[in-house]
Structure 1
């Protein structure tokens, strides 16, 4: 081997730290002597719940203890976040969440009962995703322009659009879409994507905004139709669906994320050990394929990287929320 092919001292140090964290993971949770609770702030049957169960199934092997998904639906994940804040900082209670509860909810609720900056510690990220606009099979719309024309004709410009939680990113998107197309679109908040989906499948509501993971299976089966996805690019899992940028709706290029959070005060060694275990899980071909098929862009983030991502996303949406004139409630 030539000298140039040898790993650098910095690379050796990184490899040693990563190996140490991976080896420490089973030991840390075995010492705690109890299963890991993976809190989810939305009902069973939704996209976030499905993602949590995929990860929990494989994390148990990496952590050396059972990992139990515990649904605490309500208030856009607020109840689960409060439960995390109250939990012991020993790594046995974790919170799998997307951007809404961590980055958006504290900006739109006066007293959420938690402050991510002081009450939580990032434990590791694993994906980003995009939101999408979907219509129920009971509407004739095949695309977003068709939906706009249908609302103008059938509803005299007024229409109800489901969103998974009040004062969420999807709710702001509904308002912005309404402004762009000069429609009176009213966001109808649900307690998670699962009940919203049930009403869409039952043709109780004609449209909804949620994440691609929420919609993907029913879109593939033809039970509803995703007609636009957020961002600048089409998604590989639904290549025929145009992006919002293609349709002229820009300014939402900072994509939402998924991450796992621990109570503040959790030892750094525990956070690093969990992050290493999570990275190993999402690198498994089966897990990677399942998450990608749900519309996620899969990639590991260390606790530090997840913290940076959360702060940047929060700041980006703070500007949008302020510009909308929304007042915390």
Structure 2
């Protein structure tokens, strides 16, 4: 049997401490994958894609990992959401999205292929925003009332309005606008805001509705004209555009959100680390300025606060959808 002297015992304790520290570091680093896929449910070139790429570029420095944006367009984010559900819950796959994929799709699609409450965990929210109504440059209207009058005269009371996805909040908005102003407005769904914007820029469609990030750059360039925004306050990015609340359209006060989700079962430490990293990124003056210029109100929401924000918005739209008589397809 070997004999242990005090010196040898101290040596063994030092070795054990070093090994323990190494194991702890190894386990901690294992919680942040070397490559993280950031799923986006819309095509390249749209507002959500631009936001994801901006944040991914900054997150890689905070996380010490490669963050790759992966576009999975189609069905208003449904395909990307299904991909997140199928992903391993190890932090290697996340989903950056806005309200439609999480709060609206499960209410308007009978079998979306995922259940946010069961399959996803909120990681962090980073902004709220408002939706807007815009007209193409080929449309003579400079304001929303002028657009309504133009539809009544030139269009015989009928008008088509592009939307980035079917059965979205924007489809309900178009329907309510038509009812309020006694015109026949028909939603024209696209596979994301980028193809909708291409048709608006080509004057293939006279009007479109989407988020401010979808329109902001072309609005500033005079290629489209945003004539109304939702919410109760005018937006800093376009202060001259009135709200629909000012024009008498109530019921759209609850603001949509942007955030990041992970598959259920993802380690809590990774979720906390990613949320903290995202908080640091959106606090950077250049990032905050960029997102604000895109029409977002930057607001980091840690997991619990983000979950509460999502639920409040979902509840508000549950009432609107139910009152509209819409039947899930």
SS of residue matched to 1:251: coil
In structure 2, what is the equivalent of residue 34 of structure 1?
34
**Gapped runs of 5+ residues in structure 2?**
1-23
Give the match's secondary structure for 1:247.
coil
Determine helix, strand or coil for the equivalent of 2:100: helix
- C-alpha separation between the residues in 2 aligned to 1:27 and 1:256? 37
Q: How far 1:36 sits from its partner (Å)?
A: 0.3
Say whether 1:247 aligns with 2:247.
Answer: yes
| Matched residue SS, 1:124 | strand
| 1:30–1:64 CA contact under 8 A, matched in 2 | no
Change in 2 beyond 3 A, CA 1:25/1:283 = farther
Report the more deviating stretch, 29-38 or 63-72.
29-38
Q: Which residue of 2 aligns with 1:267?
A: 267
- Structure 1: runs of 5 or more not aligned: 1-23
- Structure 1 distance, partners of 2:161, 2:33, is 46
Q: Is the 8 Å Cα contact of residues 37 and 67 (structure 2) preserved in structure 1? A: yes
- State the TM-score, normalizing by the size of structure 2: 0.91
Length-normalised TM-score, structure 1: 0.91
1:125 maps to what in 2? 125
Contact 2:31 2:267 in 1 (8 A): no
Hey, what does 2:234 align to over in structure 1? 234
RMSD between aligned alpha carbons? 1.5
Distance 2:26 2:258 in 1: 23
Q: Quick check: 1:26–1:64 contact (8 Å CA) kept in 2?
A: no
**Distance verdict in 2 for CA 1:33–1:324, change over 3 Å:** closer
Closer/same/farther in 2, CA of residues 31 and 221 from structure 1, 3 Å limit: same
**Could you list the per-position Cα deviations for residues 60-96 of structure 1 after superposition, in whole angstroms to 9, with x for gaps in the alignment?**
0011011000000000000000000001111110000
Shift of 1:311: 0.9
Shift of 1:233: 1.0
Q: How far apart in 2 are the matches of 1:29 and 1:254?
A: 39
- The alpha-carbon distance between structure 1 residues 186 and 28, as it changes in their structure 2 partners (threshold 3 A), is farther
- Cα deviation, 1:134-188, whole Å, max 9, x if unaligned, reads 0000000000000000000011110000000000011110000001100100000
1:267 deviates by: 1.5
SS at match of 1:240: coil
Taking structure 1 as reference, are residues 319 and 26 closer, same or farther at Cα in structure 2, changes over 3 Å only?
A: farther
- Contact kept? 1:166, 1:190, Cα under 8 Å: yes
Write the distance in 1 (CA, Å) between the matches of 2:118 and 2:272: 19
Stretches (4+) displaced over 6 A: 24-27
Higher Cα Rg: structure 1 or 2? 2
